[in-house]
Structure 1
Amino acid sequence: MNLQTTTFLAMLCLLPLLFRDARGWTGEIRGRVVCDVCGDSSFGPEDHTLEGAEVAVLCITKSGEVVNYQAFTNSRGLYKVAETMPESERWDSCLARPISSFSEHCTHLGHGSAGFKFSYNHPSGYFHTVKPFVYKPVEVPTYCM
């Protein structure tokens, strides 16, 4: 065996030691944004999800790094953020908060929907569901009264 081959084989043997703490970890945060049309804090047939609503998710990793995500709801009012990173850098705690509804009728943030802080202690491949963010219309329709 020549010196180059021996060096190459030695490097191959050392690779697992170099990357032993770099296992991948995947986390996901999901939620929904809804319009409480009657503003009664109960969900009825008149209420609907909001497409295009903007949500911000701020997470602090185990190493203290702050990461900020932006998400928009789909046609079913659902948003999600996901990240794959080394296990040592995984999320520790997060804050999800609504930014805007982008609805011309349902624009006022409902009571208790300013944001939700939570610990993220799920193993890789699992998700955390955030309570729905609720918007209300500027004027409640007469059929609600």
Structure 2
Amino acid sequence: MGLQKKTIMVMGLLLFLLLSCVEAWTGEIHGRVVCDVCGDSYIGPEDHVLEGAEVAVLCITKSGEVLNYQAFTNAKGIYTVAETMPESNRWDACLARPISSFHEHCTRQGNGNSGIKFTYNLPSGRSHTVRPFLYQPANAPKYCL
């Protein structure tokens, strides 16, 4: 084997060992989006989850980098954002906010907020649950009055 090939192999092995020493961190943020049918700001039996609702999650890392995520709810009304990165660059603080509901009867943002701020100080592999975002119909059904 030539000297150049040996040098390349040694450099590759050193790079692999260096990257193996970096401690990885994994975080997850999830929450639900619900149609608050009666507009009472409580989730009750008349309310239902919203599939396909869009949520934005903005996080600032310990190193000051700003990361912007976009997520959509599944059939259970749940959205999830997850990331694996070096421990030194993990999330520090985040803001989750509803963007839109594609449900034709439930499109007005409810519960009076445009977003939820929180610090993210959980260890690797743990998840933060954001309280549900509520949307309301333009007109509440008569049984709500």
Inter-CA distance 102–12: structure 2 relative to 1 (3 Å threshold): closer
Runs of 4+ in 1 over 4 A off after TM superposition: 2-17
Determine the structure 1 residue equivalent to 2:63: 63
Distance 2:6 2:50 in 1: 62
Determine the structure 2 residue equivalent to 1:25: 25
Tell me if structure 1 keeps the 8 A contact 2:111–2:133: no
| Residue 21 (structure 1) shift | 5.6
Within the alignment, does 1:36 sit opposite 2:19 as a pair? no
Distance 2:108 2:7 in 1: 66
The AA in structure 1 aligned to 2:109 is L
Determine the structure 2 residue equivalent to 1:132: 132
Inter-CA distance 21–88: structure 2 relative to 1 (3 Å threshold): farther
Determine the structure 2 residue equivalent to 1:77: 77
Within the alignment, does 1:107 sit opposite 2:107 as a pair? yes
| Residue 5 (structure 1) shift | 8.8
Distance 2:42 2:8 in 1: 66
Determine the structure 1 residue equivalent to 2:47: 47
Query: How many residues of Structure 1 are paired with residues of Structure 2 in the alignment?
Result: 145
Q: Which shifted more, 19-28 or 47-56?
A: 19-28
* TM, length-normalised to structure 2: 0.88
| Residue 89 (structure 1) shift | 1.1
Distance 1:12 1:53 in 2: 45
| Residue 18 (structure 1) shift | 3.1
* TM, length-normalised to structure 1: 0.88
Determine the structure 2 residue equivalent to 1:120: 120
Overall identity of the aligned pairs, in %: 69
Q: Where in structure 1 are there 5+ consecutive unaligned residues?
A: none
Tell me if structure 2 keeps the 8 A contact 1:31–1:131: yes
Q: What SS does structure 1 have at the residue aligned with 2:143?
A: helix
Tell me if structure 1 keeps the 8 A contact 2:57–2:97: yes
| Residue 34 (structure 1) shift | 0.3
How well do the aligned residues superpose, as a CA RMSD in angstroms?
2.2
